[in-house]
Amino acid sequence: MQRRILRQKNMITVTSGALITVGFLSLWAWSNVLVFEWALIIASILGVAPIAIQAYQALRVRVVSIDVLVTIAVLGAFLIRNFEESAIVTFLFLFGAFLEQRTLNKTRSAIKELTEMAPESALKQMEDGQFVEVDVEEVDVGDILLVKTGAKVPVDGRVLVGEASINEASITGESIPVAKGEGSPVFAGTILDNGTVQIVADRVGEDTTFGRIIELVEEAQDSKSEAERFIDRFSKYYTPAVLVLSFLVWLFSRHLELAITILVLGCPGALVIGVPVSNVAGIGNGARHGVLLKGSEVIGDFSRVDTMVFDKTGTLTVGNPSVAEKAYYGANHEQALAYLASVERESDHPLAKAVLEEIGDTEAYVVENTEVVKGGGIVATVDSHRVAVGNAALMERESVALSAEARADLARFEKNGNSLVLSAVDGELKIMMGVRDPIRPGVKEHLRRLRKLGVKNLVVLSGDNQGTVDVVSRELGLTEAYGHMLPEDKAAYIRRLIEEEGRIVAFVGDGVNDSPSLALAQIGIAMGGGTDVAIETSDVVLINSDFSRLPHALGLTKATARNMRQNILIAVGVVAVLLVSLIFSDWMNMSIGMLVHEGSILAVILNGMRLLRYKLPE
């Protein structure tokens, strides 16, 4: 029965609110006192039921919670036939809990989704040399596995035979696939874009990098157990104090109505609704401005953040490589571009896609005698010409001479953090393109606003090479920048900031690889266009990956935290004045006390509603 009542708390709240509305309408519109009283009596009984159950459960573990005080106050209001107060107090208490619970919608589904993304099967080499599909649990260290185009790498290991391009976004977060050859390391959960390789298993099951991601998320979520609400902490002292005060008044005065009045006036209606209304108004403002805040605890922690750590790809950058710089050499550029486009159409590499997008529509030629050069690029015959497309190492292999101008361009492109695509025709360099993941528009200004809001340290962590990360850091004026970071490296860095340096850390990311850091940081902020796992693991979501919403989110949480403190001060202050006046003055009575009591509830609601109009100052 208790579980059934608690499961129906939301329905009870709605019913109680409807009965209160009916009661007051019947009194004001038709002066029907009977309907008014019975509607409030039924609303009080319904409303107090789940509160009384929670009070009983708290007392069983020797905790005098605010539920205990509310229950006693409602019973006292019944004794003195003040049904309005008993009904309104129970409704406000239940409605406040409903509003807060509605926003606390973080779930454990992140673990489930991560598990579903993990490889389930593998092509394992048997004793007769044939490859047979088996469950990934049947793979042991030292087994030889076959991975084909489009398949997930089932374990951590090394390439034995073959060459391939592997998308490691699930591990490093980087969108550009990595070329793999004999001896190259591979990671479970990554996807083979093209090629076929045989690998030897080095780490399997939970020991793989992907398995460690799942484990890190579990550990981080466990370490972030839900803190007690401020009201519950406050009630440890407040509730017993009001109970003792009421008992002492009755003991010395034998004035039962006065003692019950103390309980009724001492019931913190404004305190009950004040914090939730601030939270809900702040959360509502955030939702209208593209920011999803997952609960009151998030608001409190976020408002005190002093260090913000960013993933690079898809967070500070767009996450879609494009040609940022280009240079042409010699004559016949249009012809050279057509040759380059013809060769790049043969590739699924993201750099090729960026180059084709830059070139656009052009004449297509038949590509023959294609040779893929490991770690270099492609050499092919196009329109009877030998065309080489790749990096500087391929140009050297093809004996392509680079002029002083070309060498200067190459150095400049690399310094700017570009991945290079060079194209030579018959041994003569014709085209140089620099491809990079562009920084999101306006990010530099948004970071400046974060500093103005009190964020002292801005850090970028990335699986990309250190040179590229340094370029981004210099351009944006970040405090620190670290490249070559695997998920466990990022998580270890976050843990060190929190445990050793005592910082309050927010981590901003968008990928599966970011989920451990998102869960471990005091505040995890996910770009809304990122993976479902990152969004579920996070505390804050920027809808549509709009980075400009981040300063608004921080400013809003600071304003909401201030608003909560103001409401708490109003609620506690009014109750203190009421109780002191009731005991030590003659002018305070139940009617005046009720008027002030309800006025304080209205005051905290109106104060909280101010947050709906909040805008971050320019």
Query: Which position has the token pair 């001479």?
Result: 401
Chain-centre distance for alpha carbon 340? 41
Q: Report the distance separating Cα 417 and Cα 312, nearest Å.
A: 13
Phi and psi torsions of 35, nearest 5°: -65, -40
For CA atoms 475, 476, 480, 486, the dihedral sign is negative
Helical ranges in 478-589 per DSSP H? 487-499, 515-520, 532-537, 549-584
Q: Report the distance separating Cα 572 and Cα 241, nearest Å.
A: 13
Which of 610, 552, 538, 616 has the alpha carbon at shortest distance from 298? 538
Query: Which position has the token pair 């270099």?
Result: 376
> b/e per residue, 154-168, with b = 16+ CB within 10 A?
bbbbebeebbbbbbb
Which of 122, 116, 193 has the alpha carbon at shortest distance from 157? 122
Enter the tokens of residue 345: 């159409």
177 with 218: CB under 8 angstroms? no
**Other beta carbons less than 10 A from residue 374's beta carbon:** 11
145 with 198: CB under 8 angstroms? yes
Residues labelled as active-site residues: 311
Helical ranges in 118-177 per DSSP H? 169-172
Q: Report the distance separating Cα 121 and Cα 135, nearest Å.
A: 4
> Distance between terminal CA atoms of the chain?
55
For helices 269-288 and 590-609, angle between their N-to-C axes, nearest 10 degrees: 20
State the chain's maximal CA–CA distance in angstroms.
Answer: 111
Q: Report the distance separating Cα 16 and Cα 93, nearest Å.
A: 11
483 with 466: CB under 8 angstroms? yes
DSSP code at position 63:
-
- Judged by phi (left if over 0) then psi (alpha if -120 to 50, else beta), residue 177 lies in beta
For CA atoms 458, 461, 464, 467, the dihedral sign is positive
Compute the CA torsion angle 349, 154, 313, 289 (nearest 10 deg).
Answer: 120
Pairing of strands 178-180, 164-167: antiparallel
Which of 143, 511, 457, 189 has the alpha carbon at shortest distance from 305? 457
Q: Report the distance separating Cα 279 and Cα 274, nearest Å.
A: 9
**Other beta carbons less than 10 A from residue 534's beta carbon:** 29
Q: Report the distance separating Cα 590 and Cα 304, nearest Å.
A: 41
**Other beta carbons less than 10 A from residue 75's beta carbon:** 15
